[in-house]
Amino acid sequence: MTRDLFYTRVERASYVIILASALVLLVVWVAGCRPAPPTLSPEGKAAFHATRVIQVLDVFRDAAIAANSVTPPIVTTASTREVVLWHKTALKTIAAVPTGWQATVKAGLFELTCHPMAAPLPPPAPPPPCTPRLKPGEVEKLIPYVGLALVVINEVQ
Amino acid sequence: MANEQTVVAVTNAVAVILPSVIALIKTLAAKENPGAPPPTDAEVKAVLASKLMASLAVDDAWLAANPDAPTT
């Protein structure tokens, strides 16, 4: 009985996390999808959009680190390391190819999470078989942040 | 025992939400002034370079603080 009560409360706490995350993600998404100023050159617009994408990638990375830092960890250190390493690679790709980084960043995100929006052929095509590098239970906890990143990436393509 | 676990669960929830709330506040605070002149290419590129450096520094700091984590 006590055990059931505990799990009920944990479930409620999970709902609070999901709702709060959805609210935050909505606001960050609105901010991230603002159009670039029309006075900018194509290179300037690419830099503007890249800055927005880095902000949402940071939110994803920071969520993983925060989830790993609590006791007991919600996301394992191994998975957090995967996220941080992917994030670092993504940023280096954006810096190296400011106008053509999207496919590479999305491919890395697909390998990491198997999110269908990151699949090489987006829906309605069926996503290819995929085993995420993150553990399934941990992918679910980070999926709102992955979705946010993918929405902003798709918006700036 | 159950109460302690609940407290831990709620603490964890707050710890996860808090960074997102901070990110939200930062995003709102970073809203451009409508009367300000539009940014130039050089300014936008400087902001991008600054963001890149700061973000990579966070990655490196976390990786340096967790050197023994398995990679698989």
> For every one of its 157 residues, what pLDDT tens digit does chain A have, with 9 covering 90 and above?
566 776 777 677 666 666 666 666 666 666 555 677 778 888 888 999 999 999 999 999 999 999 999 888 999 999 999 999 999 999 999 999 888 899 999 999 999 999 888 887 766 667 678 888 888 888 888 988 998 899 888 888 6
Closest C-alpha among A134, A149, A144 to residue A54: A149
Q: Which helix (H) or strand (E) holds B24?
A: helix B2-29
**How many residues comprise chain B?**
72
> What is the per-residue pLDDT for B72?
46
Closest C-alpha among A48, A33, A64, A57 to residue A140: A64
CA-CA distance, B20 to B11, in Å (whole number)? Answer: 15
Label residue A114 left, alpha or beta by phi (over 0 means left) and psi (-120 to 50 means alpha): left
Are B15 and A81 a contacting pair at CB < 8 A? no
Percent of chain A with pLDDT over 70: 78
Instruction: Read off the DSSP letter of residue B35.
Output: T
> Is B25 at the interface with chain A, CB within 8 A?
no
Determine the distance from the C-alpha atom of residue A92 to the mean position of all C-alpha atoms in its chain, rounded to a whole number. 17
> What is the per-residue pLDDT for A19?
67
CA-CA distance, B24 to A31, in Å (whole number)? Answer: 10
Are B15 and A44 a contacting pair at CB < 8 A? no
> Is B27 at the interface with chain A, CB within 8 A?
yes
Q: Which helix (H) or strand (E) holds A142?
A: helix A136-156
pTM over 0.80: no
> Is B58 at the interface with chain A, CB within 8 A?
yes
Signed CA dihedral, A34, B51, A143, A128: sign only? positive
Q: Write down the mean pLDDT value for chain B.
A: 76
Q: Using one digit for the tens of pLDDT, what is the confidence trace for A108-145?
A: 999 999 988 888 776 666 767 888 888 888 888 898 89
Residue A57: list chain B partners with CB under 8 A.
55
Instruction: Read off the DSSP letter of residue A37.
Output: P
Q: Give me the amino acid identity at A143.
A: I
